[in-house]
Amino acid sequence: MASKGREGEHPSVTLFRQYLRIRTVHPEPDYGAAGAFLEEQAHQLGLGCQHVEVAPGRVVTVLTWPGTNPRLCSLLLNSHTDVVPVFRVCVWRGVQALYTKEHWSHDPFEAFKDAKGYIYARGAQDMKCVSIQYLEAVRKLKAEGHHFPRTIHMTFVPDEEVGGHQGMELFVQRPEFQALRAGFALDEGLASLTDNFTVFYSERSTWWVRITSTGKPGHGSRFIEDTAAEKLHKVVSSVLAFREKERQRLQSNPHLKQGAVTSVNLTKLEGGVACNVVPATLSASFDFRLAPDVDMKAFKEQLQGWCQAAGEGVTFEFVQKWTEPRVTSTDDSDPWWAAFSGVFKDMKLALEPEVFPAATDSRYLRAVGVPALGFSPMNNTPVLLHDHDERLHEAVFLRGVDIYAQLLSALASVPALPSDS
């Protein structure tokens, strides 16, 4: 690892904080500044760099460390450059503020480091830490004179936090992606509260469903029959009963993780024109996250059944629907998994394979046949992605660089496979 930087701070930490200060925050992420920053890192590290515009203003930056055997498929290290917003307030101490002092101890785009070594910033966990850990692991390996058979590509993609529809979803269909010949990928994971590290081999499928109920309108003072509200209430009750059943299933089985059950939340209610008018139409929107083993055809039929049971005039539509769940092998006979898990065995670190409870860009990679694992090397750390006071300790960050250096060495050295031909 490099020598200590200014005021005793490790230069990898300094670089991390610099990246955190780039405001790639929605709804107007500064992707241009992020791309320039990454290109400068490529120049310093002697890596190839290309920018692929997949949609207007949406650019994927690819950094490449060529391997010694170009016939082999490559190792792909993916991360997203965008971060979610923070709560805004109109005035704080007499000036326009980007955050509330009530929720954030420090400006979320200052990358403040406190006396204990915690770095506060939006993106500290999700997932600018991983982006810089990739870069610093490569820096460490190159400085030590390593060369590996497989090429290593690092992709930095936009818009993951808004679904990846103008990011990875488009990129995997591009010839530039095909040219990478990715054989295996790493992407983001989650922090772990324990000594163990979590790794995610699949993820739940996102179904955003809007249920619309139509009924008889009229004056708000009357007992009108067959109203939109009555029928919508029946559907909402059915969905929330299902939610409670899945919640109880999760809580009653200590061996189940959240990603192994289907979750649902009521996220939006719409309708009505005035307090004294019974509306003709009301709608409720739900966020379903389907476990990988769910029969999607049967689940869609269940949605239809809930609507039909509520009465005539109740329908549903999909706002978003992912129907291509894929599972990356965690069998010891799989060379990629053997290389990945072997690093943790050698380092005497515990690894817990799980299903990711939400959605990441890994789903697009798996859907086009690239096995992917979601992993962020953050143990003994509270899960603070998208939360107030998102932060990461510098010691956890630096250890992650060392872990990635070991992972890159193992994965980029996986011997030739049938899939390489």
Q: Which sequence positions are flagged as catalytic?
A: 82, 160
Q: What tokens were used for 17?
A: 């904080």
Exposed/middle/buried for residue 248 (C-beta within 10 Å: 0-12, 13-18, 19+): exposed
Report d(CA 178, CA 184) in Å as an integer: 13
Phi, psi (deg, nearest 5) at residue 258: -60, -35
Q: Are strands 95-97 and 89-92 parallel, antiparallel or unpaired?
A: antiparallel
Q: Quote the Cα angle for 251-253-255, to 5°.
A: 120
Decide if 316 contacts 219 (C-beta within 8 A).
Answer: no
Report d(CA 168, CA 10) in Å as an integer: 32
Decide if 397 contacts 219 (C-beta within 8 A).
Answer: no
User: Three-state SS for 130?
Assistant: helix
